[in-house]
Amino acid sequence: VVRVAQAYFDVLAAEDTLGAAQATLDAFSRQLEQAEKRFEVGLIAVTDVQEMYALVTEHIGYNSRDVRVLSDEPLIGSGTVHSESPTKANIFAAMTWLVEGASAGDSCFFFFAGHGHHMPDVNGDEISGMDQVLYPVDLTSAGCILDDHIYERLVRGVPPGVRLTAVVDACKSGT
């Protein structure tokens, strides 16, 4: 009887362990499904923007009033940060703002997290024959942002002695 009772309790314990393992697996599956849905609709970039904002303001030391954030979602805990929708016009304006007041010894940082692609080169300046492009939120009405536009507004606009760091996290862009 004791062995039968012990075997019965062992089975119950195993069922509890199996149930807990199944619940954990179900939770991970739901988290994965939610992450995949957020990725499909482009919300993952918002997390990248939030993490980069925290990095440059809390760890690198940029003052939040010297940071412009363009995001189609509000930043969590961003306080009074300057934030606008990442339309083509706003992205161009932010690029101009970033470099126009810079002087020798300044350090400028540009970060883009979003969608991109490539298309046939429009002016023959690409060895690959392809222009790299970024997609603003108003892509269908305003069009894409060519790598040539980025060069003109950011790189060419940087005064001598200013350091410009640009990080672009855009799928399929290659920028």
Q: Do 154 and 95 contact (CB within 8 A), yes or no?
A: yes
Q: Is 82 a catalytic residue?
A: no
Among residues 59, 108, 117, 171, the one annotated as catalytic is 171
Task: Please tell me whether residue 20 adopts helix, strand or coil conformation.
Answer: helix
CA-angle at 103, arms to 102 and 106, nearest 5°: 75
User: What are the tokens at 146?
Assistant: 């060519």
Q: Is 171 a catalytic residue?
A: yes
How many angstroms separate the CA atoms of 136 and 70, rounded?
Answer: 10
Q: Which residues pair with 133 in a beta bridge?
A: 117, 146
Q: Do 142 and 90 contact (CB within 8 A), yes or no?
A: no
Among residues 59, 82, 108, 115, the one annotated as catalytic is 115
Q: Cβ of 155: how many Cβ atoms within 10 Å?
A: 12
- Active-site residue set: 115, 171
